[in-house]
Amino acid sequence: MNQQTFTLQPFPSGESLPDVKITGNINRHQNQLTITYQLTGDLEKIIIPPPADTPKRKHELWENTCFEFFLGVKNSQSYWEFNLSPARHWNIYHFDNYRQGMQQETAFSVLPLSVQNQSDSLVLTLNVDLNPIISENQPIEVAITTVIKQQNSHLTYWALTHKGVDADFHLRDSFMIEL
C-alpha cells in the first residue's frame, strides 16, 4: 500500500481567502484508489451544497465547491479529471493532452462518495477501482485540488502546488503525488 497525506494551498491572489484548511490522504492498494478530503474551519462562509437524494453524473461541478483530483499514467500525456461534489454528484473527464480532447469518461457509471458534513468540518471520501481505465502495474501521478465557493460567490482555488501564473489545475507539473 502506498499512502500519502496532503495539505492544499490556496492560489495566491489579492482576494480574501476563507479561513479554512483542506487536508487529507490518498492511497492506492493494488488498483483501489482511496482519497479522503477534510475541510475544516469557518464553514459558515462556504457554500456547501446539501446531499442529493440521488447522486448523479453532472457537468461543471467546479462552478461550486468541488473536490477534484487529476490522475495521469506516468510518462503519458493523457489524464483524467475527477470532480466530486459535497452533494455527492460527480463526473470524470478524460484528456488526450493538456486541456485537449476533453471527453466524459464512460468507463464509470457510478462513483459512490461518502460525505460527512458537520458544523466545523466536512469529510469527503472516494474509494474507486481504477481497473476500468488503468492497469495495476502502471505507476500514476496525481494532482489534488479543490474549488471553494464562498457565500459572496467568490471562488478560491486550492492545490498541492500552483505552477502557473493563473490557477490552472491541468498543468502536468502539478501532478506531484506518485502512486
Predicted model pTM: 0.96
Residues 81, 108: contact at Cβ < 8 Å?
A: no
Please check the confidence at residue 68 and state whether its pLDDT lies above 90.
yes
* Percent of the chain's residues with pLDDT above 90: 92
Q: Which domains does the chain have, with CATH numbers?
A: 2-178 (2.60.40.1190)
Question: What does the alpha-carbon distance between residue 40 and residue 37 come to, in Å, rounded to a whole number?
Answer: 10
Place of cell 501564473: 165
pLDDT of residue 1: 58
Mean pLDDT of 71-77: 96
pLDDT of residue 109: 95
Mean pLDDT of 83-112: 96
Neighbour-count burial of 119, counting CB atoms closer than 10 A to its CB (0-12 exposed, 13-18 middle, 19+ buried): exposed
What distances in angstroms separate CA 54 from CA 43, 110, 112, 136, one per listed residue? 24, 11, 11, 31
